[in-house]
Amino acid sequence: MANYNLYTDEELFLLLKEGNHRAYAILYDRYWAILFRYSRKILQNDEESRDVVQDVFVMLWSKAETLHIQISLSCFLYAATRNSILKLFQRGKVKANYLSSLTQFLDDENNTTDHLVRDRELARRIEHEVSLLPPKMRAVFELSRKSHLSHREIASQMEISDKTVKKQMANALKILRLKLGTLFFLIF
């Protein structure tokens, strides 16, 4: 049996192209630690460095038959490791950009369709419930909430007493509280 440890990288690579597992194992043992240190120096992370080197060796095994290496195997492995690190950085940047964009989208509630639909539905429901109030009560409520008039101004405009305005507002709010439930506390 041949001692593969004495073979050159190029000889081992030729055997690897033929599917020789032992040649692959020798190359793995020969370069794993070196490529790991190279990757860790750049990434500063052991786990990611292991993954990068593993990906390089998986690629070497799976594409060995079709690879045509024009440079030394060691240069090829360093370049493949560097490219794998760059892809990792790119994925991280894309992921960070995506998460940033998603966060901004979710934080910006004023522009979300869902928020606008909920606002319209809520406004429609409030308008409907206000329209069901008795006419005088509705007029007092709308002058207070839509026109932002004081009780005294409403009393003067409608030619009723301040006490009547307060009573009409209290009754309107009571009715709306019953009809709108928890939504009432968010609005008024």
Quick one: 97 and 118 in the same domain?
no
The DSSP-derived string for 140-184 is HHHHHHTS---HHHHHHHHT--HHHHHHHHHHHHHHHHHHHTHHH
Q: How many domains does the chain have?
A: 2
Q: What average pLDDT does the segment 148-174 reach?
A: 91
**pLDDT for residue 185 is more than 60:** no
pLDDT in tens, 129-151: 889 899 999 999 889 888 888 98
Quick one: 97 and 15 in the same domain?
yes
CATH number at residue 99: 1.10.1740.10
* Domain that includes residue 181, residue range: 113-187
Quick one: 8 and 74 in the same domain?
yes
Quick one: 97 and 127 in the same domain?
no
pLDDT in tens, 83-100: 999 998 888 876 777 677
Q: What is the value of pTM for the model shown?
A: 0.52
Closest CA to 71 of 7, 24, 10, 6: 10
Closest CA to 85 of 122, 40, 135, 28: 40
Quick one: 121 and 178 in the same domain?
yes
